[in-house]
Amino acid sequence: MRRSARITLHPHALQHNLQQVRYAAPDAKVLAVIKANAYGHGMLDVANILDNADGYAVACMPEAVELRSAGTQHPILVLQGHQNLQDLHAASEYQLRVVIHDQAQLAYLDQFDSERIRIALKIDTGMHRLGIPPEDVNTLYNKLKKHRNIDADIWLMTHLACADDVNSPATTQQLNRFVHATDTITAPTCIPNSAGILGWQASHSDWIRPGIMLYGSSPFESKQHDRTQYNLQAAMTLNAPLIGINQLKKGDPIGYGASYHCPDDMIVGAVACGYADGYPRHAATGSPVSIKGIETHTVGRVSMDTIMINLDNISAKVGDLVELWGENISVDRVAQHAETISYELLCNAGNNCIRD
């Protein structure tokens, strides 16, 4: 099935954004986070384009196996770690580093009897999602270090919950807990995500895990911290053609629920993209779009296959391409209008649209 909305990947932007990661954290080794199909951009393509990263991070075993099978020799970190014995066999066969975040994973390591597995021990310093409590770190680390099935090169990692808020005290608290929990251990560390890299120098560690900034989106929710402030470029454009143009009168309603009425006589265009293509249904009237390099905005509700846009004072014709986000319209702005985050929009478009 081929729908009209298309995403385009911009390799030069991915490379440019990796460069910005290097500028921000020059001493760190970079694990490009390419989970969830590289946030919708295509995991194998992104891995290929970013082969000058020092390694990759993916969420789960199937992603890691697919990535290794495609031929990369780089380190691969599996963020959710192993969930059964089979996963450990895969980790061994495909040379993967698995995250240990729960004591339940240890039982599988005890049963496993093969090559030594590389691990990263994840500490829950305050996010309370995945990770072992800081007070258990020393005992567990020493146990793991002596474990017959574990490689001695153990990494220590944590994940920051609030780094996207530059005013939150939570990040400093998390970093303090990490330092305190690991101060008697000498081992490679792996801490910041994009927001940590750009906003919290104290979080920089031996290995870093940028995701969203590689794709050209700001990790910060606040409008003051948009992508231009960090010199990031959009790695994805979402485009769709204009398929209809209506001359409407003052007071005419537009779309489902008649939620919008023309304030004046108005020219309105129908764009062949909707929530079935991953465009957010909750994007409010006024969400920015660009046509022929001119910015305009949506009017009325987003429907399954169609978005309506204001074409007043724009000379456009059926067939012209409309940019929903990309070089001209940052995905962050669309996300703000939809009261969500760019991550969700990129993943959804990536899962629903054909890529040029």
Active site residues: 35, 256
Please tell me the distance from the alpha carbon of residue 78 to that of residue 321, in angstroms, as a whole number: 39
Question: In whole angstroms, how close is the CB of 331 to ligand PLP at the nearest point?
Answer: 13
Minimum Å gap between C-beta 323 and ligand PLP is: 23
Instruction: Select 195 or 308, whichever has its Cβ closest to ligand PLP.
Output: 195
What is the b/e burial string over 46-74, where b = at least 16 CB atoms within 10 angstroms of the residue's CB?
bbebbeebebbbbebbebbbebbeeebeb
303 vs 340, which CB is nearer to ligand PLP?
Answer: 340
Q: Are 221 and 341 in contact (CB under 8 A)?
A: yes
Nearer to ligand PLP, 78 or 254 (CB): 78
Q: Which of 209, 225, 227, 301 binds ligand PLP (CB under 6 A)?
A: 209
Distance set, CA 338 to CA 217, 222, 275, 305 (Å) = 16, 14, 12, 17
Contact with ligand PLP (CB under 6 A) among 17, 105, 125, 194: 194
CA angle 337, 194, 20 (to 5 degrees): 105
The distance of closest approach from Cβ of residue 196 to ligand PLP in the complex, given in angstroms and rounded to an integer, is: 8
- Cα–Cα distance between 335 and 193 in angstroms, integer? 20
CB atoms closer than 10 angstroms to residue 166? 15
Residues 7-36 that bind ligand PLP (CB under 6 A): 33
Residue from 55, 131, 134, 210 binding ligand PLP (CB under 6 A): 210
Nearest distance from C-beta of residue 126 to ligand PLP, angstroms: 14
Verify binding: residue 301, ligand PLP, rule CB under 6 A.
no
Q: How far is CA 82 from the centre of its chain?
A: 22
List interacting residues with ligand PLP (CB under 6 A): 33, 79, 159, 193-195, 209-212, 219
